[in-house]
């Protein structure tokens, strides 16, 4: 696996991790200096690493060939969030209020949606690949039906949220406003729990369907249970504020990855059992840069594709009903159809020209 981190210094770092049982070592593998401003977002698929920046571009790096793969130019403003779904599509959000859907085959923009009146601050794709959530500076939470590419629901949340994340099973999602995490139920779309962090939250990551890792504007990472609303444990992760957290599951334990303003990326081993103990440090690497964002790249990080046929549900209500019933619905991202989210435009009738006869 590799650790990918973006920085204020415009550089994206890639570190290959050697995983021994006791200690993990990270060695510099590549640096990608394609941006002309700080890196604001990073995402990984099986083949590519993509980074977004305040320079308004999305830069591509091919992990297979280990070369730069060009840039995506569509947004008119800083790129705020990036997320792959499957290995075939990429979603991007920006300060221009746009949510763009890209095909990873030819890297063309299949769809550009004016998602929010202000900035798009965060987005998250449902594990099924059928729904996406976005939040923005227009104080709304929006649900997008990716089957037909249309807006499904708009919820006025009365404050500007800056993070939204689906749980791994897709039956709930969290919305972060400043220092507060609101947990929503998929079916009712109502808040089922609220957790307040001592500091403004900078990043969150689900370790499993109930445990959420929360990083804020301090050196501490805290773990909470989103079902019981209880803090489970906390530990000092860095010397300065933690900017980003990510995680991955190994066979019998979880690895939590943290990145900080202090330049360090750290890997922590955590056993997800009833009585959570503070994680132990597996390994660390000093990038000597001020880190802004983080992603873990692994060769099999693409979404699993199930053998189940795609269901017929296309209306948003049907989708929510269907996704609520099944624990994990996974479909091939290739099957996602994207149409115009606006109302069908009436075609103007062309006047027949006389042939002059």
Look at residue 265 in the predicted model and tell me its pLDDT. Answer: 98
**Distances, alpha carbon 62 to alpha carbons 89, 104, 154, 213, in Å:** 15, 11, 36, 30
| 153-158: average pLDDT | 93
Q: Model confidence at 148, in pLDDT bands (50, 70, 90)?
A: confident
Looking at the predicted structure, is the pLDDT value of residue 33 above 80? Answer: yes
Q: What angle do CA 43, 256, 9 make, to 5 degrees?
A: 50
Instruction: Flag whether pLDDT at 316 surpasses 70.
Output: no
Mean pLDDT value of segment 71-93:
94
Dist. CA 184–CA 191, nearest whole Å: 4
> Which DSSP state fits 349?
P
Q: Where are the domains of the chain?
A: 2-309
* CA angle (61 as vertex; 49, 336 as ends), nearest 5: 55
Q: Token pair for residue 55?
A: 């320079």
Contact 276, 268 (CB under 8 A): no
pLDDT at residue number 299:
74
Distance CA 234, CA 236 (A): 7
pLDDT in tens, 182-212: 999 999 989 999 999 999 999 999 999 999 9
CA distance 69 to 84: 16
SS3 call for 335: helix
**211-216 sheet: strands from edge to edge:** 201-206, 211-216, 220-225, 230-236
From the options 1.20.1250.20, 3.60.60.10, 3.10.50.40, 2.130.10.10, give the CATH code of 2-309. Answer: 2.130.10.10
pLDDT at 8: 97
Mean pLDDT of the chain: 87
Q: What is the pLDDT of residue 273?
A: 84
Computed over its alpha carbons, how large is the radius of gyration of the chain? 21
pLDDT at 302 over 60: no
Find the angle CA(212)-CA(123)-CA(51) to the nearest 5 degrees: 100
Per-residue 3-state assignment (H helix, E strand, C coil) for 299-332: CCCCCCCCCCCCCCCCCHHHHHHHHHHCCCCCCC
Predicted model pTM: 0.86
């Amino acid at each position: 696996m590799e650790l990918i981190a973006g920085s204020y210094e415009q550089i994206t770092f890639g570190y290959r991790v050697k995983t021994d049982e006791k200690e993990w070592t990270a060695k510099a593998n590549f640096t990608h200096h394609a941006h002309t401003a700080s890196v604001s977002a990073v995402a990984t698929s099986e083949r590519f690493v993509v980074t977004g920046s305040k320079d308004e571009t999305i830069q591509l790096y091919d992990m297979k060939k280990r070369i730069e793969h060009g840039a995506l130019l569509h947004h008119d403003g800083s790129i705020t969030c990036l997320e792959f779904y499957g290995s075939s599509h990429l979603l991007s959000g920006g300060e221009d209020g746009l949510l763009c859907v890209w095909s990873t085959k030819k890297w063309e923009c299949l769809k550009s949606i004016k998602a929010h009146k202000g900035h798009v601050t965060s987005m998250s794709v449902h594990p099924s690949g059928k729904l996406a959530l976005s939040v923005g500076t227009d104080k709304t939470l929006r649900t997008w039906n990716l089957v037909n590419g249309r807006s499904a629901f708009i919820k006025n949340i009365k404050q500007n949220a800056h993070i939204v994340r689906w749980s791994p099973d897709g039956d709930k999602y969290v919305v972060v406003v400043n220092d507060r995490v609101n947990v929503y139920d998929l079916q009712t779309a109502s808040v089922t729990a609220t957790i307040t962090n001592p500091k403004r939250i900078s990043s969150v990551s689900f370790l499993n369907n109930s445990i959420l890792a929360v990083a804020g504007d301090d050196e501490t990472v805290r773990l909470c249970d989103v079902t019981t609303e209880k803090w489970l444990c906390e530990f000092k992760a860095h010397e300065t504020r933690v900017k980003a957290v990510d995680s991955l599951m190994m066979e019998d334990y979880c690895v939590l990855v943290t990145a900080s303003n202090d330049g360090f990326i750290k890997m922590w081993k955590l056993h997800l059992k009833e009585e959570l103990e503070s994680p132990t440090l597996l390994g660390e690497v000093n990038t000597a840069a001020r880190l802004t964002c983080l992603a873990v790249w692994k060769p099999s990080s693409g979404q699993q594709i199930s053998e189940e046929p795609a269901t017929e549900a296309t209306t948003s209500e049907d989708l929510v009903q269907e996704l609520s019933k099944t624990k994990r619905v996974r479909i091939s991202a290739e099957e996602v159809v994207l149409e115009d989210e606006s109302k069908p435009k009436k075609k103007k009738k062309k006047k027949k020209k006389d042939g002059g006869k």
